[in-house]
Structure 1
Amino acid sequence: MAGDGLVFHELSFVPEGDEVVVGRLDTGSYAVFPTDGAELLKQLTQGMRLSAAANWYEETFDESVDLEDFVATLRELGFVREGGQQQPDAPPPPVRLRPLGRALFSLPAWGLYLAVVGGWTWTVTLHPDLAPRSTQIFFVHSLLVVQLVITFGQVPLLLLHEAFHILAGRRLGLPTRLRVSNRLTYIVAETQINGLLSVPRAKRYLPFLAGIVCDSVVFSALGLVAHATRNPDGSFSPTSRLCLALAFTVAVRMLWQFQLYLRTDLYYAAATAWNCYDLHEAGMTLLKNRVWRLVNRADRIVDEEKWTPRDRRVGTYYGPFIVLGYCALAAITVFVSVPVTIRYVSIAGRAIGSGHLDAAFWDAALSLCMNVAQLVALVVLSRRKRREKKSGTSHTPSSSEVELV
Structure 2
Amino acid sequence: MDDQQDQRKIHLHPLTFLPDSEGVSIGRFGTDTFAVFPEDGAELIKQLQAGLTVGEAARWYQETYHEELDMGDFLEILRDLTFVIEEPEGGDLHTNDPATSRSDSSPLRGQTLGKWAFTPVAWILYAVLIGAGVAFLWKYPELRPARKHVFFTDYTTAIILGLFVGQMLGILVHESMHLLAGRRLGLPSKLSVGRRMYMLVFQTSMPGIAGLPRKVRYLPFLSGMFGDVLFFSALVLLAGITQILTGELNLFARFCLALSFTTILRFLWQFYFHLQTDIYYVIVTILGCVNLQETARQKIANVWYRLIRADHKMHDPSRWAETDTKVARWYGPVYSVGYVFFLYVLVFVMFPIAYKFLSTVFMNLLHGSTDKMLDSVLFIVFNGIQYGVVVWLYVRGRLTRRRSQKSIVQGGVGK
The TM-score, its normalising length taken from structure 1, stands at: 0.81
- The question of 1:43 aligning with 2:44 is answered yes
After superposition, residues 113-128 of structure 1 pair within 5 angstroms as: 113-128=126-141
Please tell me the residue identity of whatever aligns with 1:24: R
How far residue 332 of structure 1 moved from its aligned partner, in angstroms, is: 2.4
C-alpha displacement of 1:282? 2.8
Which segment drifts farther, 210-219 or 106-115?
Answer: 106-115
- Candidates 99, 124, 143, aligned match of 1:130: 143
What amino acid sits opposite 1:371 in the alignment? N
Identity over the aligned pairs, expressed in percent? Answer: 32
Rounded to whole Å, the distance in 2 between the matches of 1:14 and 1:88 is 27
Preserved contact between residue 157 and residue 379 of structure 2 (Cα < 8 Å):
yes
Report the equivalent of 1:388.
400
Q: Secondary structure at the match of 2:362?
A: helix
Shift of 1:262: 2.0
- Structure 2 unpaired stretches of 5+: 48-53, 406-415
The equivalent residue for 2:311 is: 297
Secondary structure, counterpart of 1:226 in structure 2: helix
What CA distance in whole angstroms lies between the structure 2 residues aligned with 1:6 and 1:95?
27
Looking at both structures, which has the greater relative contact order when contacts are Cα pairs under 8 Å and sequence separation is at least 6?
A: 1
Please list, as runs of the form range in 1=range in 2, the aligned pairs for 1:164-313 lying within 5 A after superposition: 164-230=177-243, 235-289=248-302, 295=309, 297=311, 301-302=315-316, 304-305=318-319, 308-313=321-326
> Could you tell which deviates more after superposition, 289-298 or 242-251?
289-298
Going from structure 1 to structure 2, the CA distance change for 1:21 and 1:122 (only over 3 Å counts) comes to: farther
Amino acid in the other structure paired with 2:32: G
Structure with the greater alpha carbon radius of gyration: 2
In the TM superposition, residue 270 of structure 1 has moved relative to its aligned partner by: 1.6
1:15 and 2:16 aligned: no
Deviations 1:298-326 (A, max 9, x none): 57534644x54323322343212212321
Residues 330-350 of structure 1, C-alpha deviation per residue, up to 9 Å, x if partnerless?
A: 232133211211111121121
CA distance in 2, matches of 1:390, 1:143: 39
CA distance in 1, matches of 2:213, 2:43: 18
> CA contact under 8 A between 1:215 and 1:254: conserved in structure 2?
yes
**1:30-109 matched pairs, under 5 angstroms:** 30-32=34-36, 37-43=38-44, 46=47, 77-79=81-83, 91-93=100-102, 94-109=107-122
Distance (whole Å) between structure 2 residues aligned to residue 117 and residue 186 of structure 1: 28
Distance 1:79 1:218, change over 3 A: same
Give the residue type in structure 2 aligned to 1:379. V
Query: Alpha-carbon deviation of 1:249?
Result: 1.5
Q: Which residue of 2 aligns with 1:377?
A: 389
In the other structure, the counterpart of 2:123 is 110
Closer/same/farther in 2, CA of residues 69 and 97 from structure 1, 3 Å limit:
closer
Q: Distance in 1 between matches of 2:317 and 2:11?
A: 30
What is the CA distance between 1:69 and its match in structure 2? Answer: 10
Unaligned runs of 5+ in 1: 60-64, 394-405
For the 8 Å contact 1:231–1:237, the answer to whether it is kept is no
8 Å contact from structure 2 (residues 289, 324) kept in 1: yes
Paired residue total:
383
Does the residue aligned with 1:262 lie in a helix, a strand or coil?
coil
Partner Cα distance (2:350, 2:313) in 1? 41
User: Aligned partners of 1:281, 1:38: CA distance in 2, in Å?
Assistant: 30
Q: What is the SS of the residue equivalent to 1:318?
A: helix
Q: In 1, distance between residues paired with 2:205 and 2:123?
A: 24
Going from structure 1 to structure 2, the CA distance change for 1:44 and 1:22 (only over 3 Å counts) comes to closer
1:28 aligns with 2:32: yes
* Contact 1:181-1:187 at 8 Å conserved across structures: yes
Partner SS for 2:34:
strand
Q: Structure 2 vs 1, CA of residues 367 and 271 (structure 1 numbering), >3 Å: closer, same or farther?
A: same
8 A Cα contact 1:3 1:45, kept in partner: no
Question: Cα gap change, 1:320/1:51 in structure 2, threshold over 3 Å: closer, same or farther?
Answer: farther
C-alpha separation in 2, matches of 1:321 and 1:31? 31
* Post-superposition CA distance 1:72-112 (Å, at most 9, x none): 87665444678999987853434101111111111111112
Letter in 1 for 2:351: V
SS in 2 for 1:174: coil
CA distance in 2, matches of 1:103, 1:259: 31
Deviations 1:132-178 (A, max 9, x none): 11111110111111111111122222222211111110001110111
Change (3 A) 1:77 1:285: farther
Counterparts of 2:251 and 2:281 in 1: how far apart (Å)? 39
1:261 alignment partner, SS class: coil
